[in-house]
């Protein structure tokens, strides 16, 4: 029908505009946050742009939910304000018949959100964490300065000095390293002609070549001297590269099904909920969009915001309850969706009746009382 094509067209253009504006604001805000973290050394400078990209991908599903809700609400409110909806109702057509064009617009977005939630986001989250950690480790290597005494590794009793450092190939010349053996308390002093950092096997190692190692206690004259061709000093043995098992958001969706882990169930509940949210909020926007052009009041905007906050915060609270093991999976998944469906049905009945005070209309919609 003509009205359906026109509605989908208007809503699509409105949604594109809303999505781009909100996305620009969020990206700008996150960019400032990332630059601040990079300045503090918590994020590698080279990773800022990539991490903003991964963060944007992660925010897209929720942004699509909000965009669909606002765009449908905006277009239908304009129909009420311009009396187009009054013409629609006076022609003998029901408000419920708007469900079809609304779903025509909302279902593709729900499918897009489902694909992103179930397949794209776990991959993007894992790549984001891996990328950030790798660049951070590489940035730590780039902080080596020649001609300066510095601590080797955090919380370490090793001090090193590098005479020359080739930043292109990462080779250090004429190294001095002093460390304290925690077991014996001896001082170890190492001289080497060449050294490099190795990041293989998820550990950071200083590889020294062609050197001498002195070990003993100062003032006792018991130092021993050992020559070596290669010596590996492990700086960090804790793997920092993210393992999918370590964080629920990086686990592939197929591994979440059937899991008894409350955290996995909470994550699955959230991934399944967002596509349903697109559909239900879009239908809820039909009765909420009611606007009386004579009164000029815009109370429906506050009602729309209230429903959105109630829906999203309710889902978040239920997800946290599932994660803590307080409630089972289905009890966390269903209540908010059922509540929104019930509210949509009741409000649709109210808007299909002649105008009445709110409480009278609500009573009539619930109990059929005139």
The pLDDT tens digits for 93-105 are 777 888 888 999 9
User: What one-character DSSP code corresponds to residue 118?
Assistant: I
Please report which confidence band the pLDDT of residue 52 belongs to, taking 50, 70 and 90 as the band edges.
confident
Average pLDDT score over the chain: 81
pTM for this model (two decimals): 0.71
Residues 246-272 have a mean pLDDT of: 85
Higher pLDDT, 128 or 323: 323
**Sign of the torsion angle spanned by Cα atoms 198, 170, 159, 184:** positive
Residue 282's CB: how many other CB atoms inside 10 A?
25
- Residue 72: pLDDT band (50, 70, 90) is very high
42-47, Cβ contacts within 8 angstroms, sequence gap of 24 or more: 43/132, 43/136, 44/132, 44/135, 44/136, 44/138, 44/139, 45/139, 46/135, 46/138, 46/139, 47/131, 47/132, 47/135, 47/136
Q: DSSP state, 94?
A: -
Give the pair of three-digit tokens for residue 175.
């190294």
Give the pLDDT of residue 250: 80
Q: Would you say 122 and 249 are in contact if contact means Cβ atoms under 8 Å apart?
A: yes
Q: How far is residue 368's CA from residue 370's CA, in Å, rounded to a whole number?
A: 6
User: For position 249, what pLDDT does the model report?
Assistant: 78
Q: What is the structure's pLDDT at 244?
A: 45
- Kindly state the tokens that stand for 270: 């959230």
Between 249 and 103, whose confidence is greater? 103
Q: What is the pLDDT of residue 331?
A: 92
Check whether 263 has a pLDDT greater than 80: yes
User: How high is the pLDDT of residue 204?
Assistant: 72
Which phi and psi angles does 230 have, rounded to 5°? -150, 135
- Residue 361 has a pLDDT of 65
Confidence class for position 239, pLDDT limits 50, 70, 90 = very low
pLDDT at 242: 46
Tens of pLDDT along 105-157? 999 999 999 999 988 888 888 877 777 666 665 555 555 667 777 776 655 57
The pLDDT-based confidence of 68 (bands split at 50, 70, 90) is very high
The end-to-end CA distance of the chain, in Å, is 35
pLDDT band at 334 (very low <50, low <70, confident <90, very high): very high
Contact 43, 136 (CB under 8 A): yes
Question: What would the mean pLDDT of 53-66 be, rounded to a whole number?
Answer: 88
Mean pLDDT of 17-38: 87
Q: pLDDT tens digit string along 186-230?
A: 788 889 988 887 766 667 778 889 899 888 877 676 778 888 889
Position 39 scores a pLDDT of 72
Angle 212-213-216 (CA atoms, 0-180°, nearest 5)? 145
Mean pLDDT value across residues 303-331: 92
Please check whether residue 103 is in contact with residue 282, taking contact to mean a CB–CB distance below 8 angstroms: yes
* pLDDT at residue number 43: 63
Determine which of 167-171, 232-236, 290-294, 353-357 has the lowest per-residue pLDDT on average. 353-357
Give me the helices (H) in the chain, please.
Answer: 2-39, 48-81, 84-90, 99-115, 121-142, 253-256, 262-288, 299-323, 329-352, 358-367
């Amino acid at each position: 029908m003509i009205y359906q094509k026109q509605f989908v067209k208007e809503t699509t253009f409105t949604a594109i505009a809303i999505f781009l504006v909100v996305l620009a604001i969020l990206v700008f805000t996150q960019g400032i946050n990332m630059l601040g973290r990079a300045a503090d050394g918590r994020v590698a400078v080279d990773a800022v742009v990539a991490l903003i990209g991964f963060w944007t991908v992660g925010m897209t599903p929720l942004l699509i939910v909000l965009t669909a809700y606002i765009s449908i609400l905006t277009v239908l409110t304009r129909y009420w304000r311009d009396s187009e909806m009054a013409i629609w109702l006076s022609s003998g057509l029901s408000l419920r018949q708007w469900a079809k064009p609304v779903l025509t617009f909302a279902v593709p977005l729900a499918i897009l959100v489902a694909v992103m939630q179930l397949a794209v986001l776990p991959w993007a989250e894992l790549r984001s964490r891996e990328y950030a950690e790798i660049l951070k480790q590489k940035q730590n290597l780039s902080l080596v300065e020649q001609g300066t005494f510095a601590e080797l590794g955090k919380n370490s009793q090793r001090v090193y000095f590098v005479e020359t450092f080739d930043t292109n190939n990462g080779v250090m010349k004429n190294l001095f390293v002093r460390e304290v053996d925690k077991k014996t308390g001896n001082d170890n002093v190492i001289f080497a002609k060449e050294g490099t950092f190795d990041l293989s096997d998820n550990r950071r190692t200083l590889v020294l070549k062609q050197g001498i190692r002195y070990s003993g206690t100062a003032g006792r004259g018991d130092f021993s001297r050992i020559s070596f061709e290669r010596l590996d000093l492990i700086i960090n043995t804790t793997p920092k590269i993210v393992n999918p098992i370590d964080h629920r958001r990086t686990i592939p969706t197929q591994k979440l099904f059937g899991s008894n882990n409350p955290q996995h169930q909470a994550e699955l509940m959230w991934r399944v909920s967002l596509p349903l949210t697109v559909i239900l909020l879009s239908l809820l926007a039909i009765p909420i969009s009611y606007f009386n052009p004579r009164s000029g009041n815009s109370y429906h905007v506050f009602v729309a915001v209230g429903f959105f906050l109630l829906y999203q915060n309710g889902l978040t609270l239920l997800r946290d309850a599932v994660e803590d093991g307080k409630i089972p999976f289905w009890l966390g998944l269903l209540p908010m969706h059922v509540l929104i469906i019930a509210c949509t049905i009741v409000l649709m009945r109210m808007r299909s009746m002649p105008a009445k005070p709110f409480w009278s209309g609500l009573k009539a919609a619930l109990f059929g009382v005139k």
